[in-house]
Amino acid sequence: MKEPVPPPGREKDDSLEDLDLPLLQAVALQVSVLAIALFTRLLDVLVLCVRPWLLRPYLGIWLAEWMHSPYRPRRTFEVTRVLRESGQGFRELIYGETPLFTAVRLFRRAGVGRGSRVVDVGAGRGRVLLAARWLGAEARGVELLVDHVASVAGQLRPAGITLTVGDATREELGDASHVFSNWTALGPETKARLVERFRACRPGTRFIVVTRPIEGRGFVTLSTHRMLFTWGFETVWVQEYRPEPV
Ligand SMILES: C[S@@+](CC[C@H](N)C(=O)[O-])C[C@H]1O[C@@H](n2cnc3c(N)ncnc32)[C@H](O)[C@@H]1O
């Protein structure tokens, strides 16, 4: 199929508007996204009934969405500045979330529990971090966009979750026992820079990565899983960092 030619002056790779779909297809997509959203939120709430103290921050995230939807990133001056600093494109901000029940299952498989320190690199609104707390682990997230963080950080703090604004490719990860990366939308260059950060982790650190595994020496796959996300099913890799002795 021939690639569509972008209008002059606009980089093809850098705009969400290029995702325009025929009307019927767009309606079908919206309906399926809505159905998944309802289904996953219902399951999340059921899972949270076992840890009722986490219900409040979860519903807080949900309510914050009315004020600021992370699913429609706007190309504001601030977003443009942040992207220029991190060397990323606008398409890398395409948003999707990991349902809490998906994250609980994944973290269990990865051995998360009391005494674990989970870091989500590209944490969005911290939904995944609630799953880490559900399992009794410490939970910390770093997110590039200030709007995502500002809308929820106050709700998450009382649950022991730290969500900060920052560039994950420059984040200090040395204290993590488990690193989660939903890096589905990230470009190859950003992924490569993240993997360099991962190499600064302690041997034995476990990585839970969505859509594609960490490629390169020293990252050993322990298991793969097919899991539900807000946009559909994806494969997830649980990997362990085992650097070769020099
Ligand atoms: C697909 S969302 C995943 C959100 C969350 N981790 C989850 O799975 O529910 C990816 C997030 O990564 C953020 N992001 C992209 N590049 C980043 C970077 N260099 N540093 C930190 N966050 C980044 C985006 O703004 C977006 O909120």
With a 6 Å cutoff on the Cβ, whether 181 touches ligand 1 is: no
With a 6 Å cutoff on the Cβ, whether 86 touches ligand 1 is: yes
CA distance 109 to 208: 10
Strand-pair category, 178-181 with 206-210: parallel
Query: Given this model, what pLDDT does residue 143 score?
Result: 98
Query: Given this model, what pLDDT does residue 8 score?
Result: 40
Q: How far is the CA of 43 from the centre of ligand 1 (A)?
A: 23
Query: Given this model, what pLDDT does residue 19 score?
Result: 58
Mutate to test the pocket of ligand 1, among 145, 211, 228, 229 (most ligand atoms within 8 A of CB): 145
Mutate to test the pocket of ligand 1, among 107, 167, 182, 210 (most ligand atoms within 8 A of CB): 182
- pLDDT tens digits for the chain (246 residues)? 343 444 444 444 444 545 566 888 888 888 888 999 999 999 999 999 999 999 999 999 988 888 888 988 788 999 999 999 999 999 999 999 999 999 999 999 999 999 999 999 999 999 999 999 999 999 999 999 999 999 999 999 999 999 999 999 999 999 999 999 999 999 999 999 999 999 999 999 999 999 999 998 999 999 999 999 999 999 999 999 999 876
Residue 140, strand partner residues:
119, 162
Of 102, 166, 161, 154, the C-alpha closest to 137 is 161
Does the pTM surpass 0.85? The reply is yes
Helices (H), the chain: 23-48, 55-67, 77-86, 100-109, 127-134, 146-156, 188-198
- Among protein residues, the one with the nearest Cα to ligand 1's atom 10 is 122
CATH of domain 30-241: 3.40.50.150
Q: How far is the CA of 1 from the centre of ligand 1 (A)?
A: 31
Query: Given this model, what pLDDT does residue 67 score?
Result: 82
With a 6 Å cutoff on the Cβ, whether 184 touches ligand 1 is: yes
- Among protein residues, the one with the nearest Cα to ligand 1's atom 13 is 122
The sign one gets for the Cα dihedral 150, 156, 157, 158 is positive
Q: How far is the CA of 246 from the centre of ligand 1 (A)?
A: 33
- Among protein residues, the one with the nearest Cα to ligand 1's atom 11 is 122
Query: Given this model, what pLDDT does residue 4 score?
Result: 43
Of 117, 168, 160, the C-alpha closest to 142 is 168
Structural domain boundaries in the chain: 30-241
Query: Given this model, what pLDDT does residue 20 score?
Result: 64
Tell me how crowded residue 182 is: count the other CB atoms within 10 A of its CB.
25
